[in-house]
Amino acid sequence: MLYIDTSVLVALCTNEAKTIDAVRWYQNCTEELVSAAWCVTEFASAMGLKQRTGQLNEEQAQAAWTLFERICANDLLLLPVEIKTFHKAAVLTMKSTTGLRAGDALHLACAIEAKAKGMVTLDLVLTKNAQLHKIPSVTI
């Protein structure tokens, strides 16, 4: 099972620098994909930010949201986030050398708890930290 973080989901559903690579990877992926249920809120936040900064209009954001919902319904298992996982994420962010922000720490903690065989992300800090926890990165 591969853990996919929100950065890849946003690239799959909107036009970004890595969209073509993300789509190509997704179309060829045969592994089971999981993510934390937290990615729903994080994805919605990204759509709001893209609208506020003029990267997307409301119609484009809604189309991206519809595609995201389709991915979640058909190809992505959303994992519940337990209290102990929030605590694990807090501990990860307390280590200043990790460079992890709260959201990425929560993704990493969820991937650790799920015993993911790989981390699919576009975030270099998350990639580095996943590898420190013996979760190999999946190159897109």
- Of 130, 135, 134, nearest to 98 by C-alpha is 130
Using DSSP, state whether 95 is helix, strand or coil.
coil
Q: Which domains does the chain have, with CATH numbers?
A: 2-132 (3.40.50.1010)
* Structure-derived torsion over alpha carbons of residues 10, 11, 16, 17, reported in degrees to the nearest 10: 140
CB atoms within 10 A of CB 32: 12
Read off the pLDDT of residues 25-42 as tens digits, 9 standing for 90 and up.
999 999 999 999 999 999
CB atoms within 10 A of CB 100: 23
Read off the pLDDT of residues 69-81 as tens digits, 9 standing for 90 and up.
999 999 999 999 9
pTM of the entire predicted model: 0.94
Judge residue 55's burial from the number of C-beta atoms within 10 Å of its C-beta, 0-12 exposed, 13-18 middle, 19 or more buried: middle
